[in-house]
Amino acid sequence: MYKSRAEHIVEVVGDIPRFRFDQIHKALFDVSLNSWNQVSTLPLNMRESLEQEVPWMSVVLVQMFESAQKDTYKAVLKTLDGKNFESVLMANRRGQWTICVSSQIGCAMKCTFCATGTLGLKRSMHSDEISDQYRFWNTFLKSKPELPQRISNVVFMGMGEPLANYENVKKAIHTWLKYTDLGPTKIMVSTVGILSQMQKLLSDPDWPPVRIAISLHSANQKKREEIVPTTVPDFLKRLAVWSHDYQSTLGNRTHHLTFEYTLISHVNDTPELARELASYIIKTAVSKVNVIPYNPVHGKDFTRAERSRIDTFKEILCTYGVNVTERKTMGDDIDAACGQLALSSS
């Protein structure tokens, strides 16, 4: 049975007051410290017991990949029970870093075009394993003083479906909000669209005010069922209703929804589908579409939409007044781009 770090600590040093946990968390997120021995806020005997018994990190590096541009790093990490997964560090427009974290080892969603889906679900990750991905990258950056040092954004776009691991994802987010300088609008949860969980977060007083992206990939119910097999009947209608509920319950200027749309050549990139998307958006409370040029996956026949098709698709959306952005492809030379995380090289 997995023990959380907090449970393990209590097991080793007995019940401790809240302020001690606070000191412990502060120390864990202090990048100048790298072992329990160095946590001078704790009594010496406590430090010694923790050093002997409780791992400082819940994830350890197996292999690091660096893109040719040196703007993307992919780490194959191992959990304490020996499961490998991947986490990505990407340079962003502000000259800082965005980390792309995993929330599950593998994924059960089986989106037809995605590499992670082919692994199936091994298990969901614990909140320590999720939040420690930030600590891992922060320590990595410290070891590379020539690089910018600040992680300014986190996106849940690594392995797994975050809303299928709701409680652990929520806990990891709260840890970051409390112990790092990340604000809620700098954290993006990307979901395939699990409506039951999306409904749940609307009435969860503890749900953090982070951004949410929904992986739409088609505004045509039949087409979406084809490429995203977890699509439930009437998904698009129900999603539109949900988006308005979201907007009225949680929405504000900084707290808006985004649709992700991976453009796959001759699958979902036609002008008709662009128009269908534009008319669909009007019925929702979603304000933005982020198109992702498809990143090829070994063993799958899908290919990236050609530049001219991507441009036409975006132009059609613009004509309808849709706010459209395009995700810059990064790290595809090390299989670190969206949907390429499948442990192919470990």
Binding site for ligand SAH (CB under 6 A): 111, 113-114, 157, 161, 190-192, 215, 260, 262, 292, 294-295, 297, 338-340
Give kind and range of the element (H or E) at residue 288: strand 288-293
Q: Which of 86, 129, 161, 260 is catalytic?
A: 86
Closest to ligand SAH by CB, 42 vs 114, is 114
DSSP codes of every residue in 134-189:
HHHHHHHHHT-TTS---EEEEEE-SSS-GGGGHHHHHHHHHHHHHHSS--GGGEEE
**Burial classification of residue 222, based on how many CB atoms lie within 10 Å of its CB (0-12 exposed, 13-18 middle, 19 or more buried):** exposed
Minimum gap (Å) between residue 341 Cβ and ligand SAH: 8
Minimum gap (Å) between residue 95 Cβ and ligand SAH: 23
Minimum gap (Å) between residue 7 Cβ and ligand SAH: 28
260 catalytic per annotation:
no
Closest to ligand SAH by CB, 212 vs 316, is 212
Q: CA-CA distance, 302 to 320, in Å (whole number)? A: 28
Minimum gap (Å) between residue 40 Cβ and ligand SAH: 40
Q: CA-CA distance, 69 to 170, in Å (whole number)? A: 33
Closest to ligand SAH by CB, 13 vs 324, is 324
Closest to ligand SAH by CB, 9 vs 322, is 322
Q: CA-CA distance, 281 to 243, in Å (whole number)? A: 10
| Cβ–Cβ under 8 Å, residues 296 and 267 | no
Closest to ligand SAH by CB, 268 vs 340, is 340
Q: CA-CA distance, 96 to 68, in Å (whole number)? A: 18
Which residues face 151 on adjacent strands?
A: 97
Please give the residue whose beta carbon sits closest to ligand SAH in the complex: 339
Count CB-CB contacts under 10 A for residue 102. 26
Unique residue bearing structure tokens 């797994």: 160
Q: Which of 93, 114, 113 is nearest to 104 (CA)?
A: 114
| Cβ–Cβ under 8 Å, residues 75 and 86 | yes
Minimum gap (Å) between residue 210 Cβ and ligand SAH: 14
Q: Which of 100, 111, 114, 338 is catalytic?
A: 338
- What tokens were used for 272? 């008709």
Closest to ligand SAH by CB, 34 vs 325, is 325
Q: CA-CA distance, 331 to 308, in Å (whole number)? A: 22
| Cβ–Cβ under 8 Å, residues 6 and 22 | no
276 catalytic per annotation:
no
What's at 284, amino acid-wise?
T
Q: Which of the residues are catalytic?
A: 86, 338
